[in-house]
Amino acid sequence: MKHLFTILFLATSFFMVAQEGEDKEEKKFSLSGSIDGYFQTYITAPDDNAPAFGTAFADQSGFAIGMGNLIASYESGKVGAVLDLVVGPRGEGATFNSDIVDGIVNQAYVYWNVSDKTTLTFGRWNTFLGYEVIAPAANFNYSTSYLFSSGPFSHLGLKADFAISEDFSLMLAITNPWDTNDTSATGEYAYGAQLGYKEQYLNLYYDSGNNGGLGFEIDYTGGFDLSDDFFLGINAAYNDNDGSGFYGAALYPQLTTSESFAIGLRGEYFSLHGDADDQPNVFATTLTGSYTVDNLIIKPEVRLDSWSNSEPYFDNDGLASDNLAAFTVAAIYTF
């Protein structure tokens, strides 16, 4: 009996140690983030009297900072949490300064992997609409597109992600309205859906359009590897809010020439629509290089925006102009 108890005790101890080891392996903490800054000068306008392009972020001349963000994530078994904090002009613009601590919270959410095919997420998370994202390290171009700038940056609510098969995915969401995502004082809510197939995504979004809402938007985001070194990204969207809104499309051809350098172009057409004739529209071309040294990314960029039916800029003589060109060089460090 003593030998039997000894064997059982050793077996139990081994099982408990092994289980404890498994639990430790399942608990994962990670810390990541980025810091970026840039220099920008206007080619066709004076730096001290030039309006910004009209897109989000990177809208200052001279030397400027973008943002610093710190992302902490913790996972234990099937559940986890993510806290993404941002500071700087880009972070404040992305959060609309709407948080209690002056726009410092970019994302804050908890999630539950209910099964291998289903994940529930509750909290504030960056938008599923559009080709680009807030953090510059994840974008090829440093400046952002009109399509990205016109849509929501984040959502506050509940979403469910379903892995239907190896190729198909589905996401359904109910959130507070766009641009008022910290509260829903009017009792209104927004609804979102995303259908994915082999990294091609069809996105749908709807809110009532009241109180600064977005209305209805349909958005396609995807891309194709045309060769080992050449990738073509695609984004197209249509928005309507009680008869007015915007639509447009953008192509992102990107060529990787070496392990450390790539060059890419963003060509975008963007237009407003509504009851009035001759709505303003713009064709924007952005050429960006991307040179990587360890964790540092250096991005020189030339951008030209040309409007029809609108003169939102000034030229070097101080006269109204329908186009604006700029040179930008950005430095982004990731960790």
Q: What is the mean pLDDT of residues 89-112?
A: 80
Report residue 151's pLDDT band, with 50, 70 and 90 as the boundaries: confident
Whether residue 184 is predicted with pLDDT greater than 90 in this model: the reply is no
Whether residue 219 is predicted with pLDDT greater than 60 in this model: the reply is yes
**Which positions ≥6 away from 35 have C-beta within 8 Å?**
67, 68, 332, 333
Percent of the chain with pLDDT over 90: 74
Three-state DSSP class for 32?
strand
The label of the residue with tokens 């139990």 reads 12
pTM of the model: 0.87
d(CA 317, CA 63): 23
Three-state DSSP class for 148?
helix
Q: What is the pLDDT of residue 276?
A: 80
Report residue 17's pLDDT band, with 50, 70 and 90 as the boundaries: very low
Q: What is the pLDDT of residue 197?
A: 97
Q: What is the largest CA-CA distance in the chain?
A: 100
Whether residue 179 is predicted with pLDDT greater than 70 in this model: the reply is no
Whether residue 329 is predicted with pLDDT greater than 80 in this model: the reply is yes
Q: What does the domain layout of the chain look like in residue ranges?
A: 33-65+109-334
**Which positions ≥6 away from 29 have C-beta within 8 Å?**
72, 73, 74, 75
CATH of 33-65+109-334, one of 3.30.1360.170, 2.50.20.10, 3.40.50.1820, 2.40.160.10: 2.40.160.10
Whether residue 286 is predicted with pLDDT greater than 60 in this model: the reply is yes
Report residue 19's pLDDT band, with 50, 70 and 90 as the boundaries: very low
Give the residue, 18 or 125, on which the prediction is more confident: 125
Three-state DSSP class for 168?
strand
Q: What is the mean pLDDT of residues 281-305?
A: 98
Q: What is the pLDDT of residue 38?
A: 98
54, 324 Cβ separation under 8 angstroms: no
